[in-house]
Amino acid sequence: KIREIRIHKILGIDDTTRRVSIRCPMHGEKTPSFVLYPDNSFHCYGCKKNGRGAIDFVIQLGYSFKEAVDELLKYI
C-alpha cells in the first residue's frame, strides 16, 4: 500500500496527470525548482535531490526509513 501513495497527496496537490513545478519543500527558495512528475518521481533542480516514489521523497526530507514508513502510514 505504501508504494501506491502519491507524493501529490502528501503535498496537497490535486492534479496528478501532468508535470507540476513548485517551490522545493527541502530547501528555501523564491522560485519553483522542484518538479513532480505524473509517474510519482521528483527532481529538484536547486538542491539536486530526486527519487521515485513517496518513500524516497519522505527520506529526502530527513526521515529515517522507519520514520518515513510511519509517516506514510498516515496517508493509507
Q: Residue 3: pLDDT band by 50, 70, 90 thresholds?
A: confident
Mean pLDDT of 9-21: 95
Q: Taking the complete model, does pTM exceed 0.75, yes or no?
A: yes
pLDDT for res 7? 97
* pLDDT tens string 28-76: 999 999 999 999 999 999 999 999 999 999 999 999 999 999 999 999 8
CA distance 49 to 26: 8
By three-state DSSP, how is residue 3 classified?
helix
Mean pLDDT of 3-23: 94
* Helix segments in 1-76, DSSP class H: 7-11, 54-60, 65-72
